[in-house]
Amino acid sequence: MLSYEEALDHLLAAAAPLTEVELIPLADLRGRFLAEALVSTVTVPPEDNSAMDGYAVRCADVLQSGVALPVAQRIPAGSIGHALAAGTAARIFTGAPIPRGADAVVMQEFCAHGADGGVIINCLPKPGMNIRRAGEDIAAGTEVLPAGTRLGAAEIGLAASIGAARLPVRRRLRVALLSTGDELAEPGQPLPPGGIYNSNRYFLRALLENLGCAVTDAGHVPDSLAETRRALRAAAECNDLIVTSGGVSVGDEDHVKPAVEADGELSLWKIAIKPGKPLAFGKVGAGGTAFIGLPGNPVSCFVTFLLFLRPYLLKRMGARTTLPVARTLVAASDWTRPDDRRSFLRARIAADGRVELYPNQGSGVLTSCAWADGLVDTPAQQTFKAGDPVRYLSFNDLQ
Ligand code: AMP
Ligand code: MG
């Protein structure tokens, strides 16, 4: 049996990043991976501007609280004032450029109306007060995002803030998804005797799409060698990766392994983790399309996606970071059944910040995955008690 790290190393070594780059508009960038570092050509903010609604003054004119000044100009955001004459104030609004000569903004809450439309400054301003300096966010020429950044809301906003309308990103990874098993019935259909509903097909699609893959659902393949070979060859035609679930054990009805071997190459790994022992990896078809076969048990399938397929996909999509960062938290439950394999237990953070385990850790109990918000990574042969430290991996970092 391979360790988790050994299997992951093999997988990542074979994950060549996509090279094709597309220029995509801001509105369509969510979840894409930046192909080159993003460097700002502009300064943000472009000039000193007001952080408050209030009055721009020269501090030298307000040497004590209660000074009255005539209001010589009004500067709303989007317009440029003129130089502030000594002994005057400018009405100014948040985001408006600071007029030349002014060195502080007094927020309007510290001002009162004076005689003849003037203002009374009821505080002692200090130079720079309530002024956002030109370039305090971004200086021109700065790298604002490194290559390989996954673009989320904040990154897209940052790109917009420097005036970039399109960004170079890797093209989407094309993934074909196949589920296997004669017992599978599709949701919406009546369940025949001996049948179970196909759940892997739907959560795998969602997990792949969360990561920004372009998914082709190649359907549900019956347990036959000929059908499995035909489906795999067809999927290999126009995809970067084929993902299957089920059929990778070594039972007579597990046809994925011989099918991949017949039309490509395959390594079948037994990995010392629970859930999820079997994982198949190889290539199919003349073009050598990558193939990954996940176990059929729904929880094993879900967990092996997060532990293996996710880092593999991220690397192929050119992501900067592929591995989640574990946190040490305190257990709220006891784990009394040591296993001979490293266990990834479905768990969630309780209101008090401690981690509780789902009571049924069976590999067919998909409820555990919906209930949980992460996994507790427990070494082989280990138990723990409530109050002990545990290693927790959040689904937020994994999905
Ligand atoms: P297999 O790996 O094909 O031997 O399947 C292992 C277990 O997972 C069996 O109980 C299957 O019925 C179940 N299983 C396989 N594929 C799916 C699927 N797509 N959805 C739900 N359960 C599945
Ligand atoms: Mg099967």
| CATH architecture, range 4-17+171-316 | 3-Layer(aba) Sandwich (3.40)
Q: Do domains 4-17+171-316 and 49-132 have the same CATH topology?
A: no
Mean pLDDT confidence for 291-315: 97
> What are the boundaries of each domain within the chain?
4-17+171-316, 21-38+147-170, 49-132, 327-397
151-180 pLDDT, tens per residue?
Answer: 999 999 999 999 999 999 999 999 999 999
Residue 98 has pLDDT above 90, yes or no: yes
Q: Whose CA is nearest to atom 8 of ligand 1?
A: 297
Name the closest ligand to CA 183.
Answer: 1
Retrieve residue 83's tokens.
Answer: 């130089």
Residue 399 has pLDDT above 80, yes or no: no
**DSSP SS3 for 112:** strand
Q: pLDDT over 90 for what percent of the chain?
A: 94
**C-alpha of residue 298 to centroid of ligand 1, in Å:** 7
Does the N-terminal peptide bond of residue 127 adopt cis geometry, omega within 30 degrees of 0? no
Question: What residue spans of 78-161 are helical by DSSP H?
Answer: 153-161
Retrieve residue 332's tokens.
Answer: 């709220």
Half-sphere exposure of 315 (CA within 13 A, CB side): 17
The continuous run of DSSP H or E covering 310 comes out as helix 310-316
Long-range contacts of the stretch 358-363 (C-beta < 8 A, 24+): 362/299, 363/274, 363/275, 363/276, 363/295, 363/297, 363/298, 363/299, 363/300
Q: Looking at residue 321, what is its pLDDT?
A: 87
Does the N-terminal peptide bond of residue 275 adopt cis geometry, omega within 30 degrees of 0? yes
366-394 pLDDT, tens per residue?
Answer: 999 999 999 999 999 999 999 999 999 99
**What is the band of 251 on the pLDDT scale with cuts at 50, 70, 90?**
confident
Does residue 249's CB lie within 6 angstroms of at least one atom of ligand 1?
yes
Give the Cα separation of 125 and 106 in Å (integer): 7
- Per-residue exposure over 235-256, b if at least 16 CB sit within 10 Å of its own CB, e if not: bbeebbbbbbbbbbbeeeebbb
Mean of all residue pLDDT scores within the chain: 96
Give the number of other CB atoms < 10 A from CB of residue 7: 22
What is the CATH code for 327-397? 2.40.340.10
Half-sphere exposure of 367 (CA within 13 A, CB side): 7
Q: If you ran DSSP here, which 8-state letter would residue 399 be given?
A: -
Does residue 378's CB lie within 6 angstroms of at least one atom of ligand 1?
no
CATH class of 21-38+147-170: alpha beta
Q: Looking at residue 81, what is its pLDDT?
A: 97
Does residue 246's CB lie within 6 angstroms of at least one atom of ligand 1?
yes
Q: Looking at residue 250, what is its pLDDT?
A: 80
pTM comes to 0.93
Mean pLDDT confidence for 97-110: 98
Is the domain defined by 49-132 classed in CATH 1.10.3720.10? no
Whole-number CA gyration radius for the chain:
30
Q: Whose CA is nearest to atom 12 of ligand 1?
A: 183
Q: pLDDT over 70 for what percent of the chain?
A: 100
181-221 pLDDT, tens per residue?
Answer: 999 999 999 999 999 999 999 999 999 999 999 999 999 99
Q: Looking at residue 324, what is its pLDDT?
A: 87
